[in-house]
Amino acid sequence: MTSVLPIPADARRDTAADEWKAAYDALVNLSLLLADWDGEGAFPPRAGLLAATYRLFQTLEKQSHVAPADVYLSADGTVVLEWHFEDGRNAIINVRVTDHAEVIRRTPNRNPEFSTIPIH
């Protein structure tokens, strides 16, 4: 019989810090995109949306939320954040304006839930 060793709290903190660093790095990389970055007329990132997303990251990180798994720009210039959980749930945050973000939560076998969160 094998036993499962607990992961030390310091290791969990280090992993979370690494995941947040990767999310911040992905956000910085978005700032490098130019107009038509997809070859199909995509809009470039707007500095205000990138700054709002950065503030949102700071809030989520301070509240000990898990870092998003994916950070990308949609063709219309929206900053998109995605979380994927082992139980099949996922969450998407769309940052389209600088003062709030749209949240979509999906749980298997249920209708999606829509809400907004303020960005300070």
Q: Which is it for strands 90-95 and 79-84: parallel, antiparallel or unpaired?
A: antiparallel
Please, which residues bridge with residue 2 across strands?
none
Q: Which conformational region is residue 65 in: left (phi greater than 0), alpha (psi within -120 to 50 degrees), or beta? A: beta
Report the distance separating Cα 61 and Cα 97, nearest Å. 20
SS3 72: strand
Mean pLDDT of 75-100: 97
pLDDT at 14: 77
The ranges assigned to domains in the chain are: 9-118
Per-residue confidence band for 23, with pLDDT thresholds at 50, 70 and 90: very high
Beta bridge partners of 105: 91, 113
* Residues 6+ positions from 113 with CB-CB distance below 8 Å: 103, 104, 105, 106, 107
- CB-CB contact of 52 with 100 (8 Å): no
pLDDT of 5 above 90: no
* Residue 26 CA neighbour count, 13 Å, CB half: 19
- Give the global pTM: 0.88
- Tens of pLDDT, residues 41-81: 999 999 999 999 999 999 999 999 999 999 999 999 999 99
